[in-house]
Amino acid sequence: MHLPARPEALSGPYDNGHSVKTIVMSRRRPELTRDAFRDFYETRHVPLVVQHAHFTKYVRNHLIAPSNSEFDVVLEFWMVDPAAVDALDVSAGGEIIKAHADRFIGPERFRAVAEESLLAGPARRYETGRIQKYALLLNRRAYSAEADFIADARDWGRRLAAGARAKRVTIDVVKPFAGGPFPANAILWLWLDRAFDVGLAETPPRSIDIGRILTLDAYETPREALIADL
């Protein structure tokens, strides 16, 4: 995976159209509804996280649909040095975050490093309020080469941007954490002002299998509330 040459690219703006981040997909504990899970996450867990994690950008994408997904939130976060994720996991702050997360998040969590690239629309910056987004989880068919799959996904993302009149489209090329599964080889993210026409996704390129189409409400921590050492 290509990494940006300059660490400041990881704070949100792109370096030649790229940034590197960590993605975590998590499911709520069974006794919680999605609404209760979201409320606890946003009002109690997020304030604790920003006290202990040196993120440069921190976004929670809460699922609206489908209702039967194996996860309820897709977390994105950026750090000045992507390798610092390992250090965070074993730090005192990381232990505090994990212990708190275990109170409302189930044990199965999918984690990956992702290279995000802009395909259409303005560069991604900091967003406020509730942002409606869609995510298409893409998997490479067994007979397709990885390079062909990525090229097809990028091209298809640009075509979807035009067909859906999206404000912005990005793609994540993901690499799962060592020893762990991840439910996609790539993710297309679409920012829309309207409902996504799923018919646009009915005929992807032959190299691509669509795992899921997610409807999301995204919330981002304001930059001034983060404690990253920029």
CA distance 87 to 90: 6
Domain-located, residue 230: no
Q: Which region among 75-84, 125-134, 180-189, 217-226 has the lowest average model confidence (pLDDT)?
A: 75-84
Nearest C-alpha neighbor of 187 from the set 222, 162, 150: 150
Domain-located, residue 1: no
Can you spell out the DSSP letters for 114-129? EEEEEEESSPP----S
Can you spell out the DSSP letters for 213-227? EEEEEEEE--GGG--
The average pLDDT across 124-132 equals 93
Task: Return left, alpha or beta for 134; rule: phi > 0 is left, psi -120 to 50 is alpha, else beta.
Answer: beta
Q: Which domain holds residue 162?
A: 7-225
CA distance 215 to 230: 32
- What's the total number of domains in the chain? 1
- Per residue in 53-82, pLDDT (tens digit) is 999 999 999 999 998 899 999 999 999 887
* Chain position carrying tokens 């030649």: 16
Band of pLDDT at residue 86, cut at 50, 70 and 90: confident
CA distance 229 to 23: 21
- Per residue in 188-217, pLDDT (tens digit) is 999 998 899 999 999 999 999 999 999 999
Domain-located, residue 49: yes
Domain-located, residue 24: yes
Query: What global pTM score does this model have?
Result: 0.91
